[in-house]
Amino acid sequence: MQDYIPPKKEHWHGRTSDAELYLHEKVELKTISKIEKSKSTFVLLGYACDEGVKRNQGRIGAKGGPLVIRQALAKMPNHLEKNVSLIDAGDIICPNGDLEKIQGALAHLVYELLQKNTIPILLGGGHDIAYGHFNGIKKHLMEANKRPSIGIINFDAHFDLRTDDQGPTSGTPFFQIANENEPFHYLCLGIRSDANDKKLFQTAQESDVTYVEKNTFRIQFTKEINTWIRAFMEKVNHVYVTIDLDGFSSAYAPGVSAPSPLGFSPDIVLESLEIIIASGKLISLDIAEMNPKFDIDNQTAKLAASLVHTVIHSEFP
């Protein structure tokens, strides 16, 4: 595939040991066609594309996100059981600005990974990753059920419900999904009124979006938030999680396309992920908007890698 780059060993390095103590020693490098069917396998797939951010008038640079997340993850300790595999499957890229084509290609690769019973973890890249990612999940589930029930849980400051009249961008993925799927199950955690205009709030209301604003999405309201998450998940059979790093405060995540000091903190996201994973409904996950051009001391890359580290070391039902 012209827009696919196989994984590279030089992306994975760190301290060495004789007992796979670090993830760079645990990870396997395989192209998607070489990955075997297994339910105890996490597969990292990079979405090295910021064309959607560029179209959305954001700060470009997110195409470098997958690399720095890998580099941060490589140095982290490995606590995975021997029977659990971690595979790097390489990157999909967008060299010619053809975002629509790349989103279609991404959907196909996600479909292939899910057909192999793996758990995909996608590394972005702009939040336009969500449209292709969702469609890959949908295609996989439609083979078993013509009307699959998929819930989207988005940790984000933005609804990303802008219209796609001028074509898709990093701000349109959930508008596109809503227009193509009925019913549309969408829970957005961390929404900020200073990051969404009145029209976006109106679109969210018309699309029956469930959301928790940032002032409530805090650790002191964990019990209430967990109740809302559980209620949302009861309505669906499968959950797709997408984490937009620009939803975090820039104190934690300066290296993003649209930073703000008023974002949420990692602790409430980790608490929420625990509830989602424990449900047994999580089918796939991505991390979006990692922009190394604006990172400070690799802080955002380390946050993204720590989120991945938490997910792969969680106990899946």
13-23 per-position pLDDT tens digit: 999 999 999 99
Q: Is 160 annotated as a binding residue?
A: yes
Q: Note the pLDDT of residue 292.
A: 98
Would you place residue 125 in the very low, low, confident or very high pLDDT band (cuts 50, 70, 90)? very high
Cα diameter, the chain: 57
Whole-number mean pLDDT of the chain? 97
Q: Is 194 annotated as a binding residue?
A: no
Per residue in 141-152, is it b (16+ CB within 10 Å) or e — as a string? beeeeeebebbb
Between CA 264 and CA 250 the distance in angstroms is 9
State yes or no: pLDDT of 69 exceeds 80.
Answer: yes
Residue 48, SS3? strand
What is the average per-residue pLDDT within 112-124?
97
Q: Note the pLDDT of residue 19.
A: 95
Please give the model's pTM, rounded to 2 decimal places: 0.97
Question: Quick one: CA dihedral 99, 101, 103, 105, positive or negative?
Answer: negative
State yes or no: pLDDT of 297 exceeds 90.
Answer: yes
Q: Is 50 annotated as a binding residue?
A: no
Q: Which CATH superfamily is domain 4-312 in?
A: Ureohydrolase domain (3.40.800.10)
The full set of domain ranges for the chain reads 4-312
Q: Is 127 annotated as a binding residue?
A: yes
What is the average per-residue pLDDT within 249-264?
97
